[in-house]
Amino acid sequence: MNINLDSDKLAHMAVGLEGGVYLPSGAVAVTTGDHTGRSPNAKRYVRDKTTEDTIDWTNNKSISKEEFSSYLSKFLDYRQRTTRKIHLQQVKAVRDPRRSLSIHVYTEYAKHALFVRNMFIPTDSSLGATSYGPDYTVYHFPSLLEEPTVLISISQKMILISGTLYSGEIKKSVFSVLNYHFPENGDLPMHCSVNVDKKRQNPAIFFGLSGTGKTTLSSDVNRVLIGDDEHGWTDDGLTNFEGGCYAKTIRLSQEDEPQIWDASHGKNSILENVVMRDGKPDFNDDTYTENTRSSYPSHYIKGADPFGHVDQHPKNIIMLTCDAFGVLPAVMKLSSEEAVKQFLLGYTAKVAGTESGVTDPEATFSFCFGAPFMPLRPRVYADILKEKVEEHSVDCWLVNTGWTGGSYGVGNRMPIKTTRLIIDKILDGTLADCPIQPHSFTNFSVPVCDDIDSSFLFPENGWENQAEYKKKAEELMNMFSKAWKNYE
């Protein structure tokens, strides 16, 4: 067994033994075969005395203790008999040492062991396999089972993963167990990014589903990145769950996203399912998938926080949505009640190309901006959010990074420069001081700022056909109403 091999050795093995390709920069390009994204039907939790009354079984699938034990026997047997050299990485999740979780990850591929080192916090490489007991053990053997399988036992503190090479299953299964345990202490686990100003003050939370700009907008050269995807909000402040970033790279631009571009070319960064041409990545090519990814340690982002946590509470919460219908204003001010409502709705839209079979924009509602990873009932998380927002007087915003001037296929994507301008004005307090005007078509409150084009703030002004805009707005608001009935 290879125990805690360093990143250089693992990258060399991923290239020499597993078909990976080195970039001139030292990054490694790999592919994941048939499964290029998370398998939504793969995950099941053990239903037992611990989880019977805690896990939301309307949103999560179950497996019996007996079934799990049968699977575990297969995984343990595979670990003993496989001719592959098993890799063990002993890492930690949660950057705040007061709340960290120890994890032992056993995997059959060096590229996945490298991914674990990139995404979590490696421990001292001199530690032996039995030098301390893990809080959770992950057995990651993609070759064992034919179908994607992710099984989680909260009681036994164990995760079994097989049937898929997609690295994100490791990351999201650990996130899922943290989402189970954090509320036990009144802490809020969040699918979000966090940054702070260079004085380590004025923290901001960015909620958002995949493709809304959560990673891009939090990676700001003028601010310090705490983390890009998973965090906890505790009585002490904000902490990153991870030690790395897993950024989407489709159509990655060096001009628009220089920090992510540079980090993706870093030594031992992993480019997952990115097409290579003459030794260089083609980020515009979606031959393998639209869900191309880059995995790298957080410190590859210039100026990223070395501690991964900040003992301050946020001044602003920014909820990002990619509205493909072109209906929503570019920015909306939310009361604490409205913030909780949008948190529970978790609205964005899928567009053609993001998933197989999607040809027209489809509204998506994912509570807490991460329903597949939230094992508890939605209101558990929403109640903690409301309590913390009101206790710390946090300003809350809904920002549309989707379409404007028309729906998908007619209008244009919101200019990233406009979105960055909006974010800057939120963070420096400008928008909070702007006059508020109600938006008659959506009932949202819009801050009016001279520096922001009114056709973005009041999107109906950017449509050629006002009647068509009104029709689309009614459709979207009806979708909101229908989705909200689940929580009223």
**Catalytic machinery residues:** 38, 172, 191, 210, 214-215, 229, 293
By three-state DSSP, how is residue 276 classified? strand
> Which H or E run contains 230?
strand 230-234
Phi, psi of 223 (to 5 degrees): -135, 170
CA distance readout (Å), 164 to 34, 145, 479: 8, 9, 34
Integer Cα distance of 62 and 245 in angstroms:
30
- Residues 6 or more apart in contact with residue 70 via CB below 8 angstroms: none
Phi, psi of 62 (to 5 degrees): -120, 160
Q: Which residues pair with 227 in a beta bridge?
A: 194
Phi, psi of 254 (to 5 degrees): -65, -30
- One-letter amino acid for residue 227 of the chain: G
| Contact predicate 396/317, CB 8 Å | yes
Q: How many CB atoms lie within 10 A of CB 184?
A: 9
Integer Cα distance of 235 and 357 in angstroms:
44
| Contact predicate 20/141, CB 8 Å | no
| Contact predicate 187/233, CB 8 Å | yes
